[in-house]
Amino acid sequence: MRSLLIAAVVAVTPLPPLNPQALQAAISDLDHPAATSAQLRVSGTAGRWYGTAGTADQSQRQIRPDDRFRIGSVTKVFVATVVLQLAAERKIDLDEPVQHYLPGVLPPNLEPVTTEQLLNHTSGIPSEVDMPDLSTPEKVLEHRYDRWAPGERAEHIPDTKAKFTPGTMQEYRGINYVLAAMLVEKVTGHDYGREVEKRIVWPLGLGRTYVPGRNETAIRGAHVHGYLDVPGQGLVDVSDINTSRSYGEGDMVSTTGDLTTFAKALFGGELVPETLLEKMFTVPDVSMVDGRPAAYGVGLQTFTLNGVTVWGKTGEQYGYNAGLFSTRDQQRRIAYSFTPTARDTAQQQMTLRIANAATS
């Protein structure tokens, strides 16, 4: 594996004051993309702000700060944190092939893949085949209550060589974190959700954050509802859905407040020892498969906008889009959620407006 490049993480100058008007405008355009609600929480040493747009459901109930929502791939940050904690406890060796911990789970012809290569998306694991078609809203509704066991996803990995030699390129893949969660369960003997609760949720008092059980479909307690625009049916509430297919990679539920508390503790070194925490802020010195520079460390992705570099994770589930980012020095933390009615690239319009308003 080529050498690793540690990105610059020290802010040189203080960030500009928050612009409440720009922040509210960023989330208030619910036509681009089409969405039923949005909320944004900005915090950190450079200022605080919270705002909402739209309503929590079709009864027109106003959004409350403690309303839960599905966080999608922000789940990966929690899983990576637990794996690094287990590495600190010498229960997992990040350089040991995953095949050592999960014998027989990956196809026999696949090259050895280390745990760290899973976590930073340099595994090269082939794309799953013969998965259910979820390309249309109608197909999503057809499969909304499908229940998946963790190992079932792995059964859809073809018995071929890796897409690329592990460690030499980067490709963002959800299956990496399905396997990472399975690894947590193998070495602890507990569901990955229990380890997240024991190691993160309970110590930090994240009372609105949880990992759904594999049979759960409804979001517990008060929550923002997500909808899909289904041809011939209009807006269909998809808050009630089984997310076990996204086990370990996108199934968790939280709030903007809990996510902010989590980020503060993680970036502040309260959850992971400094030497291992640095891996989250270390981007491999490789290219993405499409030729772009790598953008993912262990559990976190990074981007720079308006001269401000942030680290965190975006996430999607049907009817939901979420994100959690922070500058390394925690001058600015960003937690958001909105509820788009179509799962397409138009969602990036909201994400980009939020990012621009929070960094300029």
| CA 51, chain centre distance (Å) | 22
Superfamily of domain 4-60+67-359: DD-peptidase/beta-lactamase superfamily (3.40.710.10)
Residues pairing with 322 in the sheet: 315, 337
Report residue 329: phi and psi, to 5°.
-90, 0
Q: Find the distance separating the first CA and the last CA of the chain, reported in whole Å.
A: 37
Residues pairing with 58 in the sheet: none
Distance between CA atoms of residues 64 and 67, nearest Å: 5
The answer to whether the CB of 30 falls within 8 A of the CB of 37 is: yes
pTM score, whole prediction: 0.95
* pLDDT tens over the chain, length 360 residues: 333 433 334 445 789 999 999 999 999 999 999 999 999 999 999 999 999 999 999 999 999 999 999 999 999 999 999 999 999 999 999 999 999 999 999 999 999 999 999 999 999 999 999 999 999 999 999 999 999 998 999 999 999 999 999 999 999 999 999 999 999 999 999 999 999 999 999 999 999 999 999 999 999 999 999 999 999 999 999 999 999 999 999 999 999 999 999 999 999 999 999 999 999 999 999 999 999 999 999 999 999 999 999 999 999 999 999 999 999 999 999 999 999 999 999 999 999 999 999 999
User: Can you read off the two tokens belonging to residue 145?
Assistant: 């209550």
Check residue 98 and give its pLDDT. Answer: 97
Decide: residue 155, CB within 10 A, 0-12 exposed, 13-18 middle, 19+ buried: exposed
The answer to whether the CB of 223 falls within 8 A of the CB of 71 is: no
Distance between CA atoms of residues 251 and 151, nearest Å: 16
pLDDT digits (tens, 9 = 90+) for 146-198: 999 989 999 999 999 999 999 999 999 999 999 999 999 999 999 999 999 99
Distance between CA atoms of residues 20 and 357, nearest Å: 9
The mean predicted confidence, pLDDT, of the chain is 95
Distance between CA atoms of residues 317 and 72, nearest Å: 5
Distance between CA atoms of residues 51 and 23, nearest Å: 8
Check residue 15 and give its pLDDT. Answer: 93
User: Which among 261, 209, 218, 192 has a CA at the least distance from the CA of 41?
Assistant: 261
Q: What distances in angstroms separate CA 254 from CA 184, 246, 262, 312, 335, one per listed residue?
A: 21, 15, 10, 15, 11
Check residue 318 and give its pLDDT. Answer: 97
The answer to whether the CB of 68 falls within 8 A of the CB of 253 is: yes
Q: Where are the domains of the chain?
A: 4-60+67-359
